[in-house]
């Protein structure tokens, strides 16, 4: 395999299947390439030797990509995530330990056939967003030498961007899986909290931490998430993945509403406003409707992370080391955590109360949109700026990221352009908890529209999804008493329902006023000939409420698939044929409202 830069999952599977390379051949090549890059980029703290790789490669002997979904796929591991038998340092030699077992996510990936190449560099104790806070050396940007890689998952992003890993594991507490993705032209998935196990991960803030994926494309992140989103008994913060967020939720998006902050901050950057505006246009072109939102509640939640007691949560991990061996921890890390010992329980509860108030406000905003679009940061900062003002400039990078886990949302960073100096520029799409696959669907649509990815248009030459994407909202087509303003519409609104559109069915239906009652009820049936287009409404309700709505529907009515005028099939009201006995055909009225009006 001559081009080790193109390590996409599907490309590598095809190469293995065709016999173009073998895992041993590939890993020998990748090991040499990584070793050559490391002195310049400091991406690996520990690159596994060929001898250390051999047991993983031996496990693949006699197997094939048809048996193992990630057969021979090279991946890198942020060095705050355990790999059995290899020291975990969290970028602090004095803290280092050698785990006997791997983190749950690493065990999962190895069982699926993936092979770890090594442990990657990071901002010490995952406290930073820039990649310069490590005794193992600064991580510079993969494209422009005057800029940082971003952090804290610095080396993980570089491993993918520099073409030595198909994907990499990072962590994200305040933006560490999104900022380096944007700076290196990558997709960075920050899943919903608890979706990927954090067992075997050195905590930053245990209640907020997430394991993340860096990939070239959103489609690859979707595949990895579908394979590894599992409830883990080892992790008390693990959460089950709802059915609406499994792999089948990744698909084609044709219409959606995306929030755009009214108050956008770019800290004087001359290029970022235009790049962001161009992305808004691209999302509109793939079916998006922009909606202005008040962003101040999100920003206030972000400020709580470092101004409030969550700094003490970080200190709970490293405080003993700071007190016993103060020189073992970098000065900038100590400066970030210095106020933690003085934080009181009273301050903690007050901050939690305020955060809950803000979440209630933000959740109401999020209920009205399918996602929110933000810049990744107001502007990129240079290495020189970070050296001169390490805390302030790091804080600048977290402006659009720090609130995400505080408010329990999912997010994905996706490439969106380049600045005039060639530095990559991205955006973040974030949404309600457990809408990860839907967000990745939107990211995929944006990537396909712009052809922006790690390896250009070639990364997007596969077929686009054809099945509809779905999120935590279920659509239902109503044709009678559930129409807006009619007697049973409250059953939808009580469940958080929202009217999406008024439309018609395809011309293949008959509408009847059913016998019996009261109440007066319609029944709609599909016919093979003599059909008509019937006026209907498409509503959206939370998926968690859909079951109770279904059980409230009396016979002979039920829910099935209804074809709309534009050819779409949606779940909607249908009538069992036996219910038409004695019914009046009212199709000529074109809809239930017209029938009621003319009936008097």
Q: Which two tokens stand for residue 419?
A: 């600045």
Burial class (CB in 10 A: 0-12, 13-18, 19+), 29: middle
Judged against a pLDDT cut of 80, whether residue 73 lies above it is answered with yes
Rg value, the chain, Cα? 26
CA distance 484 to 389: 56
Euclidean distance between CA atoms 379 and 146, whole angstroms: 14
Catalytic, 176? Answer yes
Which one of the listed residues 102, 149, 156, 176 is annotated catalytic?
Answer: 176
Taking residues 479-504, report their average pLDDT.
95
Give per-residue burial for 420-446: e unless 16+ CB within 10 Å, then b: eeebbbbbbbbbbbbbbbbbbbbbbbb
357 CB-near residues (< 8 Å, 6+ apart): none
**What pLDDT does 456 receive?**
61
Closest CA to 142 of 560, 455, 404: 455
| Residues 6+ positions from 227 with CB-CB distance below 8 Å | 69, 70, 108, 112
- Contact 61/71 with Cβ under 8 angstroms? no
Mean pLDDT of 512-517: 90
- Whole-number average pLDDT of the chain: 95
- Residues 317-335: pLDDT tens digits? 999 999 999 999 999 999 9
The 10s digit of each residue's pLDDT in 559-575 is 999 999 999 899 999 99
What are the φ/ψ torsions at residue 246 (nearest 5 degrees)? -80, -175
Percentage of the chain beyond pLDDT 70 is: 98
pLDDT at residue 599 in the model: 85
Closest CA to 43 of 242, 173, 172, 180: 180
Q: Which of 494, 509, 496 shows the shortest CA–CA distance to 572? A: 509
Distance CA 210, CA 178 (A): 12
The residue annotated as part of the active site, out of 102, 134, 142, 152, is: 152
Domains of the chain and CATH, by start: 9-460 (3.90.1300.10), 473-599 (3.10.490.10)
What's residue 546's pLDDT?
92
What pLDDT sits at residue 254? Answer: 87
State yes or no: is 262 an active-site residue. no
Q: What does the pLDDT look like over 293-314, one tens digit per residue?
A: 999 999 999 999 988 799 999 9
Position 463 scores a pLDDT of 83
DSSP 523-552: EEEE-SSS-B--EEEEEEEEHHHHHHHHHT
Q: Which helix (H) or strand (E) holds 300?
A: helix 296-307
More confident of the two residues 307 and 513: 513
Please give the pLDDT value at position 459. Answer: 61
3-state secondary structure of 250: coil
Task: Kindly state the percentage of the chain with pLDDT values over 90.
Answer: 93
Buried-state track 55-69, b at ≥16 Cβ within 10 A, e below 16: ebbeebeeeebeebb
Catalytic residue among 78, 119, 190, 193: 78
Q: Distance between CA atoms of 512 and 510, rounded to whole angstroms?
A: 7
Q: Is the pLDDT of residue 3 over 50?
A: no
Q: Report the C-alpha gap between 57 and 240 in whole angstroms.
A: 32
78 tagged catalytic: yes
Q: Which residues contact 319 (CB under 8 A, 6 or more apart)?
A: 337, 340, 341
pLDDT tens track for 333-353: 999 998 899 999 999 999 999
Residue-level pLDDT at 2: 38
Q: What is the pLDDT of residue 104?
A: 98
CA distance linking residue 202 with residue 212, whole number of Å: 14
Q: What is the pLDDT of residues 441-479, one digit of tens each?
A: 999 999 999 987 766 656 676 788 989 999 999 999 999
pLDDT tens digits, 537-593: 999 999 999 999 999 999 999 999 999 999 989 999 999 999 999 999 999 999 999
Greatest alpha-carbon span in the chain: 87
């Amino acid at each position: 395999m001559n081009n080790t830069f193109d390590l996409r999952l599907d490309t590598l599977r095809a190469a293995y299947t065709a016999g173009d390379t073998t895992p041993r051949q590939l890993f020998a090549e990748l090991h040499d390439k990584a070793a050559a890059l490391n002195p310049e980029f400091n991406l690996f703290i520990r690159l596994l030797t060929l001898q250390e790789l051999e047991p993983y490669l031996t496990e693949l002997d006699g197997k094939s990509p048809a048996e193992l979904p990630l057969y021979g796929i090279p991946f890198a591991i942020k060095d705050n995530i355990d790999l059995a038998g290899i020291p975990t340092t969290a970028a602090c030699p004095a803290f280092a330990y050698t785990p006997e077992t791997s983190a749950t996510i690493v065990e999962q990936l190895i069982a699926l056939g993936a092979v770890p190449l090594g442990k990657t560099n990071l901002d010490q104790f995952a406290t930073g967003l820039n990649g310069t806070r490590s005794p193992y050396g600064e991580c510079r940007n993969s494209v422009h030498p005057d800029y940082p890689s971003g952090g804290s998952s610095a080396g993980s992003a570089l491993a993918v961007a520099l073409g030595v890993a198909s994907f990499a594991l990072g962590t994200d507490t305040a933006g560490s899986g999104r900022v380096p993705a944007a700076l290196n032209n990558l997709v960075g998935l920050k899943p919903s909290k608890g979706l990927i196990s954090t067992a075997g991960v050195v905590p930053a803030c245990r209640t907020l931490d997430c394991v993340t994926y860096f990939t070239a494309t959103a489609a690859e992140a979707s595949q990895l998430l579908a394979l590894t989103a599992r409830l883990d008994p080892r992790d008390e913060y693990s959460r089950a993945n709802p059915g609406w967020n499994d792999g089948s939720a990744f698909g084609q998006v044709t219409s959606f509403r995306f929030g755009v902050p009214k108050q956008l901050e770019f800290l004087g950057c001359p290029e970022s406003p235009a790049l962001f505006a161009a992305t808004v246009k691209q999302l509109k072109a793939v079916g998006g409707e922009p909606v202005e939102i008040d962003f101040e509640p999100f920003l206030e939640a972000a400020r709580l992370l470092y101004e409030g007691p969550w700094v003490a949560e970080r200190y709970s991990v490293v405080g003993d080391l700071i007190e016993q061996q103060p020189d073992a921890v970098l000065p900038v890390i100590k400066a970030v955590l210095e106020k933690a010992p003085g934080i009181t329980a009273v301050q903690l509860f007050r901050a939690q109360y305020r955060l809950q108030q803000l979440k209630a406000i933000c959740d109401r905003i999020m209920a009205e949109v399918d996602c929110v679009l933000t810049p990744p940061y107001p502007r990129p900062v240079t290495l020189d700026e970070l050296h001169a003002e390490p805390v302030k400039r790091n804080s600048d990078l977290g402006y659009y990221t720090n609130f995400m886990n505080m408010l329990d949302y999912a997010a994905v960073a996706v490439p969106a352009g380049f600045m005039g100096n060639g530095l990559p520029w991205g955006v973040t799409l974030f949404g309600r908890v457990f809408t990860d696959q839907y967000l990745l669907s939107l990211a995929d649509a944006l990537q396909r529209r712009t052809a922006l990815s790690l390896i250009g248009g070639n990364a997007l030459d596969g077929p686009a999804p054809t099945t509809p994407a779905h999120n935590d909202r279920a659509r239902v087509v109503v044709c009678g008493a559930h129409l807006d303003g009619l007697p049973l519409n409250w059953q939808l609104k009580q469940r958080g329902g929202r009217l999406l559109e008024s439309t018609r069915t395809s011309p293949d239906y008959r509408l009847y006023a059913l016998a019996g009652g009261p109440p007066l009820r319609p029944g709609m049936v599909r016919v093979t000939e003599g059909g008509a287009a019937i006026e209907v409404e498409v509503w959206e309700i939370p998926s968690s409420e859909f079951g109770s709505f279904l059980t409230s529907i009396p016979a002979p009515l039920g829910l099935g698939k209804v074809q709309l005028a534009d050819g779409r099939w949606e779940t909607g009201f249908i009538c069992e044929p036996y219910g038409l006995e004695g019914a009046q055909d009212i199709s000529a009225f074109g809809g239930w409202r017209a029938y009621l009006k003319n009936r008097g």
